[in-house]
Copies of this chain bind each other. A is one copy, B any other.
Amino acid sequence: MPTPANHLTATDAAALMREGRLTASDLAEACLARIAEREPERKAWAHVSPNQVRAQAAACDANPSSGLLHGIPIGVKDVLDTRDMPTQMGSPIYAGHQPPADAAIVSLLRAAGAVILGKTVTAEFAGMAPAPTTNPLALHRTPGGSSSGSAAAVADLMVPISLGTQTGGSVLRPASYCGVVGFKPSYGRINRAGTKFAAESLDTLGWMARSVQDIALVDAALTGNDAPLSASTATPVSTLRIGVCQTYLWDAKALPETRQALQTAVEALEAAGVTVTPVALPERFGHLSVVRETLNDYERARGLASEWTHHRDRISPQLSASIERGWRIPHADLLAAQRYAEDRRRDFDDLMDDWDVLLVPCVNGEAPEGLHYAGDPSLQALWTLLHTPALGLPTHRGPNGMPVSIQLVTARHRDAELLKAGDAIWRTVLQFSPRP
């Protein structure tokens, strides 16, 4: 029995379509059937219209050469505008809201041939309030957030690729909790027109998939210049200069499974002949978390000023608390935070002259139980503030069998190198310690 089409990675599905062995309509139907079957318990989607999906897929099948993502279904986090689907932002304030244009990223994906499968559930305005989505690997655990629907949908084989946004840890954390690959590009790599801002100096568009090749395929479609990865183009892992950095949050945040995930990765790389060198960030990096909080709260209050003025009764207590903190922050603190962030970004870029990749913890540990709390963003948020590219790879399993990712980062604008290195590192680590 052949693999059901919704189990395929985008890269494999694209190859089958190029060979005429799979149609966009077949793939769309397989995804729609999976959603119909599993969505009632998963709650990953804010909007799916099967007829719209079928029309897009049929258009692809009628025009068999529309781009790198020809016929590939993609889920779009519901804080990104779509001109033909409501964009509700996880907020009752925007119930039924229909924007007039697609977000830039959605337009670019459509131009590359993608089928927009629907809108995925987001926490309210990409914040910290609980969303209904469950973790497909354990329904009583959080899938993480705020891109909860995007992570759950990819993990549950409903769609091969989904878009997210990260202001703290909203792509990398849910990707880890659900066991998929998560990617946050460098700040400024992907145009954000048509994104509902949470905190604009931090908000970064990212995406999730079930392989690094798929992550690179989307990056290639969006940037047009980097060839997708394949086994033959992969960087030999032994040529990489890899550092490992616990970060200053290690003692406070890293649970045993996270320590083990990092340790296992180091052992796998050393077994493959790589010297992995411990790197300590200088003391002055010790304020990244508090500075990110300042920017986050200050900017969220202003970004949602209109909603706060006119619809305060429909804003959750969690978001209200963040906004109220934001209004209390003096502007001088914003300036100090902006200066600190700019200085550390430069410092980190300089530091990475000596390394290709830094291996860092991705999450505190496994997805917590319950849906009331989407988990701690601290370990992802360091890199959001630094504007670096960050790749999360689910290489490990914790004591409850839930996935735990490692995180790879590098200097700003070195995204293409990071993806190549990440592909090689993932292959190496998985070979060393196959997932159960």
- A→B interface (CB under 8 Å): 83, 94, 97, 100-104, 106-108, 110-111, 188, 191-194, 197, 200-201, 223-226, 299, 302-310, 330-332, 335, 338-339, 342, 346, 412-413
Contact A302 B193 (CB under 8 A): yes
Contact B107 A305 (CB under 8 A): yes
Q: A104-B305, A104-B306, A309-B107 are in contact. Are A299 and B224 (CB under 8 A)?
A: no
A299–B108 alpha-carbon span in the complex (Å): 12
Contacting residues, chain B, for A100 (C-beta < 8 A)? 94, 97
Contact B225 A302 (CB under 8 A): no
Extra pairs beyond A97-B100, A191-B200, A191-B305 (11, CB < 8 Å): A101-B307, A102-B306, A106-B306, A107-B306, A111-B305, A188-B201, A191-B303, A193-B303, A224-B331, A335-B413, A342-B346
Residue in B107, B108, B193, B305 whose beta carbon sits within 8 Å of that of A197 in the complex:
B193
A108's nearest neighbour on chain B, judged by CB, is B305
Contacting residues, chain B, for A103 (C-beta < 8 A)? 306
Q: How far is the CB of A53 from chain B (nearest CB, A)?
A: 19
Q: A100-B97, A225-B331 are in contact. Are A193 and B413 (CB under 8 A)?
A: no
Q: A111-B309, A200-B193, A303-B193 are in contact. Are A332 and B413 (CB under 8 A)?
A: no
Contacting residues, chain B, for A83 (C-beta < 8 A)? 306, 310
Q: How far is the CB of A204 from chain B (nearest CB, A)?
A: 12
A294–B335 alpha-carbon span in the complex (Å): 28
A308–B303 alpha-carbon span in the complex (Å): 27
- Number of copies of chain A assembled together: 2
Contacting residues, chain B, for A200 (C-beta < 8 A)? 191-193
A-B contact pairs, 15 of them (CB 8 A): A102-B305, A102-B306, A102-B309, A106-B306, A111-B305, A191-B299, A191-B303, A191-B305, A193-B303, A193-B304, A223-B331, A225-B330, A225-B331, A342-B412, A346-B346
Q: How far is the CB of A397 from chain B (nearest CB, A)?
A: 37
Contacting residues, chain B, for A339 (C-beta < 8 A)? 413
Contacting residues, chain B, for A110 (C-beta < 8 A)? 309
Closest 3 CB pairs of A and B: A107-B305, A191-B302, A101-B306
Contacting residues, chain B, for A307 (C-beta < 8 A)? 101
Q: How far is the CB of A191 from chain B (nearest CB, A)?
A: 4
Between A102, A223, A335, A412, the greatest number of chain B beta carbons within 10 A of the residue's beta carbon is seen for A335
Q: How far is the CB of A233 from chain B (nearest CB, A)?
A: 17
A303–B188 alpha-carbon span in the complex (Å): 12
Q: How far is the CB of A81 from chain B (nearest CB, A)?
A: 8
Q: A107-B309, A305-B108 are in contact. Are A338 and B413 (CB under 8 A)?
A: yes
Contacting residues, chain B, for A107 (C-beta < 8 A)? 302, 305-306, 308-309
Contact B104 A225 (CB under 8 A): no
A310–B188 alpha-carbon span in the complex (Å): 25
A197–B412 alpha-carbon span in the complex (Å): 23
Contacting residues, chain B, for A342 (C-beta < 8 A)? 346, 412
Q: How far is the CB of A201 from chain B (nearest CB, A)?
A: 6
Q: How far is the CB of A428 from chain B (nearest CB, A)?
A: 27
Contact B330 A224 (CB under 8 A): yes
Contacting residues, chain B, for A194 (C-beta < 8 A)? 306
Between A107, A188, A306, the greatest number of chain B beta carbons within 10 A of the residue's beta carbon is seen for A306
Contacting residues, chain B, for A104 (C-beta < 8 A)? 302-303, 305-306
A188–B101 alpha-carbon span in the complex (Å): 25
A411's nearest neighbour on chain B, judged by CB, is B339
A313–B331 alpha-carbon span in the complex (Å): 44
A401–B394 alpha-carbon span in the complex (Å): 69
Contacting residues, chain B, for A310 (C-beta < 8 A)? 83, 101
A305–B107 alpha-carbon span in the complex (Å): 6
Q: A193-B197, A338-B188 are in contact. Are A108 and B225 (CB under 8 A)?
A: no
A83's nearest neighbour on chain B, judged by CB, is B306
